Structure 1
Amino acid sequence: MTVTRDGAASARIADSIRADILGGRLAPGARIRQEDVAARFGASRLPVREALRSLESDGLVTLVANTGAWVSRLTLEECVEIYQTRERIEPLLLRYAIPHYPDDRVDELSALAARMEATGDVEEFLLLDREFHLLSYEGSGTSLIGDLVHRLWNSTQHYRRAYTTSLDDDRRRIVHDEHHLLTTTLRDGDADGAEHVLEAHIRRTRLQLAQHPEVFEFTEQ
């Protein structure tokens, strides 16, 4: 398939904005002005619009017709709903993926869990945590759940950062223990156990976030 110049520019713009949102450099509710993006990348408005539509489908940007684009944000109630959804569908996605693991998959996950435990940097932890969980679902072969989970992960990235920052030493220890326990159940071939660990792991994040409503406060930008 031939990639047009506008198509290549659109992908490049989308990748850059996506990295800025996931990396916390663009906060929820931040306005994204097409003219500023076009000037930054030396592009016309067309690839910028295509990039923003792509980011909207990823759950990262909200487009309002004839008004503009903003980094997507959630209310506490919306975030709780998303986490409750994740509690139910991610264990199922994990179960779909387990039979298709290559021989070294659990070793890869175990190494990522060790790296998360070793780092004290929040941004590095978030990158490793995302890689850990999405890798655990890789190969599931689903036509719907996998894409939905990626979108839900995107939409909650900022709030996972707030959750991670809020952890005290005891809660941080629990997070690491759950990652190690998940890899142990996977190594043992215990799909039921892995589902239960993952469900509790996601629920713990939801309950902790619900104790910090200030994370969801929004100032117009």
Structure 2
Amino acid sequence: MTSGASRRIRDMLIASILDGELLPGQRIRQEALAEEYGVSRVPVREALHMLEREGLVTLVQNTGAWVTALTQDECIEIYEIRERVEPLLLRNSMQNLDDSVFDRLEELNAQMIAARDSPNEFMRLDWEFHWLTYSGAEPSFLLSMVKRLWNVTQAYRREFVQHQDGTAQHLTHSEHLLIIESLRRLDSADAGEAIASHIRRTRKSLVTRPEIFDLDGSASSLEH
């Protein structure tokens, strides 16, 4: 049975990874976490195993734990998978969305436009936007898989967003509007193509941006 301490440690590490405080390849030292939280290493190990299942941490038996890192090819492959499966997830979700959700999506898109000079705020809003579109989907293997694919690429999305120019930002907001409009019409074909095209554009951009994958936390470890 998972303890409350394990969940607290898991939540802290998720926030640190998704906010970019811990970089891909950075080691997470169990003894440092146990000391910080005043617990044994058991709940720390439980938390790390939960994060491994979510794609955020890589565990190597008898060696340790690291923030999951990807190569450029691996990240592009993940985007190819997302391009194919997220239209299905959106279709499963859209029948359970209502006007209040669509209105919130429009608010979020407007807030992203205002946050164009604040990458971290943009990332937070973008995450909320897309996961709100999927919020009508029932718990499923597909939903869990997509969440894992998002988790493992978060650091690289942040780096990508930080270097977007005005044209790319404008395209992002326009694509979001297309998604919202097709959801309001309950048009699963158009909604599926809108999200696939949105993901596809980023995937093609990643091909030309190998420097994004120079992120390296291997020289650092989680010490307190």
2:23–2:215 contact (8 Å) kept in structure 1: no
Whether 2:135 is the aligned partner of 1:138: answer yes
Q: Work out which of the residue numbers 21, 27, 44 in structure 1 matches 2:17.
A: 21
Residue in structure 2 matched with residue 217 of structure 1 by the alignment? 214
- CA shift, 1:154, in A, is 0.3
| Aligned counterparts, 1:50-129, within 5 A | 50-119=46-115, 120-129=117-126
Query: Any runs of at least 4 consecutive aligned residues in structure 1 with deviations exceeding 6 A, and if so which?
Result: none
- Which range is displaced more, 18-27 or 135-144? 135-144
- CA shift, 1:165, in A, is 1.2
- Which range is displaced more, 139-148 or 194-203? 139-148
2:99–2:184 contact (8 Å) kept in structure 1: no
The number of residues matched between the two structures is 217
CA distance in structure 2 between the aligned counterparts of 1:65 and 1:135, rounded to whole angstroms: 37
Q: Deviations over 1:145-193 (max 9, x none)?
A: 1000100000010011011112111111111111112111212222211
CA distance in structure 1 between the aligned counterparts of 2:5 and 2:139, rounded to whole angstroms: 30
2:95–2:186 contact (8 Å) kept in structure 1: no
- CA shift, 1:104, in A, is 1.4
Task: Tell me the SS of whatever aligns to 1:69.
Answer: strand
- Which range is displaced more, 178-187 or 72-81? 178-187
- CA shift, 1:128, in A, is 0.8
CA distance in structure 1 between the aligned counterparts of 2:136 and 2:171, rounded to whole angstroms: 28
Q: Work out which of the residue numbers 31, 44, 48 in structure 2 matches 1:48.
A: 44
TM-score normalised by structure 2 residue count: 0.93
Residue ranges of structure 1 left out of the alignment (5+ in a row): none
- Which range is displaced more, 148-157 or 108-117? 108-117
CA distance in structure 2 between the aligned counterparts of 1:97 and 1:137, rounded to whole angstroms: 5
Kindly provide the amino acid, as one letter, of the partner of residue 96 in structure 1.
Answer: N
Whether 2:28 is the aligned partner of 1:32: answer yes
- CA shift, 1:67, in A, is 0.1
- CA shift, 1:218, in A, is 5.5
Kindly provide the amino acid, as one letter, of the partner of residue 24 in structure 2.
Answer: P
TM-score normalised by structure 1 residue count: 0.94
- Which range is displaced more, 7-16 or 202-211? 202-211
> Are residues 218 and 160 of structure 1, via their aligned partners in 2, closer, same or farther at CA, if it must alter by over 3 Å?
closer
2:9–2:44 contact (8 Å) kept in structure 1: yes
CA distance in structure 1 between the aligned counterparts of 2:54 and 2:42, rounded to whole angstroms: 19
Q: Work out which of the residue numbers 141, 148, 151 in structure 2 matches 1:151.
A: 148
CA distance in structure 2 between the aligned counterparts of 1:84 and 1:128, rounded to whole angstroms: 23
- Which range is displaced more, 20-29 or 97-106? 97-106
Whether 2:8 is the aligned partner of 1:12: answer yes
Aligned-residue Cα RMSD (Å) equals: 1.3
Residue ranges of structure 2 left out of the alignment (5+ in a row): 220-224
- CA shift, 1:37, in A, is 1.0
Q: Work out which of the residue numbers 164, 188, 193 in structure 2 matches 1:196.
A: 193
Residue in structure 1 matched with residue 222 of structure 2 by the alignment? none
Task: Tell me the SS of whatever aligns to 2:65.
Answer: strand
